[in-house]
Amino acid sequence: MGKKILFMLLVSALPCFSGILAQGFQAPAEGKAVIYFVRVTNMSFGVTIEYFQQDKFIGEFKGKGYMRYECDPGEYLFWGKGESVDYMTSDLKAGGTYVVMIDIFFGGHIGFHPVTEKDTELFAQAKAMIKGNPSAVTPEKVFTAKKEKHAKIIPEKLKLYNEVYKNDPERHFKNLAADMAIQPEAMK
């Protein structure tokens, strides 16, 4: 009886440890691309940043850490919402692994900053975070709880981007280009 209870406890705890097993760079599945959204500073540590791909909520985390997101290759608009919103266009290739630093400024304002291994110092910070910590995983209950809120926010923010920001010469959103994929030897 005691062994059964111990076994059940271990099995129920496995989801808590799955992130630990996945720490470090993990290649995307066949025909997919992967992006690591990395935050290396504790500035505005209490600000939760929500991440979106086009009109889809893909996860959130706050404070130092990172989130691994795997998707189909192609052209996408990624955006994040903290105390402000920032947008990033992308063109992802199959098999590509990409790193995007999340800049956070006073007041919780955020910015996307695509990084390659040529950005030596930034890439070293991102690599240390990814290799030394498990990925943030957004629980399914968060997706469910925020569904109604996001049903309103997503169309508003996409309309703002498409009708105002997209063609505004004063705004310079970052682009995550296909050739910015991290080389396998740099991830070791």
Tens of pLDDT, residue by residue over 53-70, are 999 999 999 889 999 999
**Measured distance CA(14)–CA(72) in Å, rounded:** 28
- Using pLDDT thresholds of 50, 70 and 90, give the confidence band for residue 182: very high
Considering the domain boundaries, does residue 2 fall inside one?
Answer: no
Considering the domain boundaries, does residue 111 fall inside one?
Answer: yes
Considering the domain boundaries, does residue 9 fall inside one?
Answer: no
Considering the domain boundaries, does residue 6 fall inside one?
Answer: no
Considering the domain boundaries, does residue 152 fall inside one?
Answer: yes
Q: Which two tokens stand for residue 50?
A: 């929500």
Predicted local distance difference test score (pLDDT) of residue 22? 56
Average pLDDT over residues 108-121: 92
Find all residues with CB under 8 Å of 104, minimum gap 6, and list them: 39, 41, 43, 44, 47, 49, 82, 110, 111
Q: What domain count does the chain have?
A: 1
Q: Which domain holds residue 61?
A: 25-187
80 vs 11, higher pLDDT: 80
Considering the domain boundaries, does residue 157 fall inside one?
Answer: yes
Quick check: 109 pLDDT over 90?
no
Quick check: 183 pLDDT over 70?
yes
Q: Which region among 10-24, 32-46, 63-77 has the lowest average model confidence (pLDDT)? A: 10-24
Mean of all residue pLDDT scores within the chain: 87
Considering the domain boundaries, does residue 84 fall inside one?
Answer: yes
- Using pLDDT thresholds of 50, 70 and 90, give the confidence band for residue 44: low
Identify the bridge partners of residue 92 per DSSP, sorted by sequence position. Answer: 74
**Measured distance CA(134)–CA(122) in Å, rounded:** 19
- In three-state secondary structure terms, 27 is coil
Considering the domain boundaries, does residue 10 fall inside one?
Answer: no
- Using pLDDT thresholds of 50, 70 and 90, give the confidence band for residue 106: confident
Predicted local distance difference test score (pLDDT) of residue 42? 66
pTM: 0.86
Per-residue model confidence as pLDDT tens digits over 120-137: 999 999 999 999 999 999
Predicted local distance difference test score (pLDDT) of residue 129? 96
Average pLDDT over residues 69-86: 95
Report whether 173 contacts 89 (CB < 8 A).
Answer: yes
